[in-house]
Amino acid sequence: MEATSRRGRSCVVVLVVAITMWVLTSCGDSVGHEIDSAAVAIPGVAATPPMGWNSWNTFGCGVDERTVRAQADALVSSGLMAAGYRYVVVDDCWQATARDASGRLTAAPDRFPSGMAALGAYLHQRGLLFGIYTGAGTRTCAQLNGIYPGDTGSRGHETVDAATFASWGVDYLKDDWCSSEADTVAQRDAFVAMRDAIRATGRPMALAINPNSGVTATDGVPGAVRDWGGVATTTRLTNDIEATWRSGQDVSGYRGVADIADAARDPGATVGPGRWLDLDMLEIGVGSSLTAEEERTHLALWAMAASPLMAGNDLTQMSTATRDLLASPGILAIDQDPAGEIARSVSADGWTRLRRLADRSTAVSLTNPTGSPRTMTVPRDLVGSQGSAVDAWTGVVAAAAGRPIAVVVAPHDTAVLRISRGS
């Protein structure tokens, strides 16, 4: 009788455990896999938003090791590395079209003849950090779109791929969804598998995910409707950027600077050290579709959102104006502010945004989305009556302590003020 009772209790325990696990995996993403939680995915990385350069916007599938080395050298010689741009990220198409006999990824031999470990060593010798790309599914985005052959995504190979990347000295991994299916469980499992594989290597690699590639969702793409901060170091907020003010595309297409800025007006995700929202790579100096004012808005609103800043231009050919904009010290200081807060809109149209900073000052951005110059004001009750307002672009005082704050903003431009707390 006692043995039967013990067996009965054991069955109850097993049943309770089974039901609990089913609830966690089927209904409780935030508990089971740390979606929509306050966790940090990879401890010890990205105390501030990552800054660097990515190959895709300019070079696409034409990237090769000579190009990457030249861009890395330009990052150093231009002073952008000293300004904070340290990650050099080799995006899609670096890989051979098939895995080797042991199931490992290898570099395309014609374009990366020295191999990826040698490239990583080259970057590290210059004080830079090494970033690389993979697909979260069975194919990368270029493979999915038919512009590069093979099926070398990381799904099902996360453990071996993370170990391979670690052996090459990789510091940053871009993991791209690349599928028309937006099933949360499938995405969660793929990204969590890579996160856990990175953790197991013992190497502190930042994990940058894009859960939106290829996804069509009229009610918002996954990066906008879920908080992935417990799964990844950085999470893309929207679909891919292009070098235009507004794209005119539907939700599955490329997004212009203003489109992404709209999406970032009041994001729901929690950001801070080790978990950032990524507004996508910078299009500053890429082509000529953006005006100088629109490029300023691009950098300003990315900084206000504490977004990673990944330049995408040809650093060896950039103009002095592009270099100086990318290196804007007052704007980069806001992006890299250690408090790690994100800007929130404080106007009905969403184009005046406020961000509290670690020194207890306040950053305010004023964007003019119209086609005519516009006088824009900052109500003193939002920022305190006693602090002075300094133009973050120039360092010049825009309004003395206690005085009204008003600036004239050109079409599609953004003024950024840093307002002290005052005495």
Give the active site residues.
176, 240
What is the H or E stretch that residue 160 is in? helix 158-167
DSSP character string of 317-377 = S--HHHHHHHT-HHHHHHHT-TT----EE-STTS-EEEEE-TTS-EEEEEE--SSS-EEEE
Q: Record the tokens describing residue 164, joined without a space.
A: 């391979």
CB 295 within 8 A of CB 286: no
Cα dihedral sign for 272, 277, 55, 298?
A: negative
CB 142 within 8 A of CB 61: yes
Backbone torsions φ then ψ of 366, nearest 5 degrees: -125, 105
Q: What is the largest CA-CA distance in the chain?
A: 88
- DSSP character at residue 155: T
Using alpha carbons, list the distances in angstroms from residue 37 to 27, 200, 278, 373.
14, 21, 17, 42
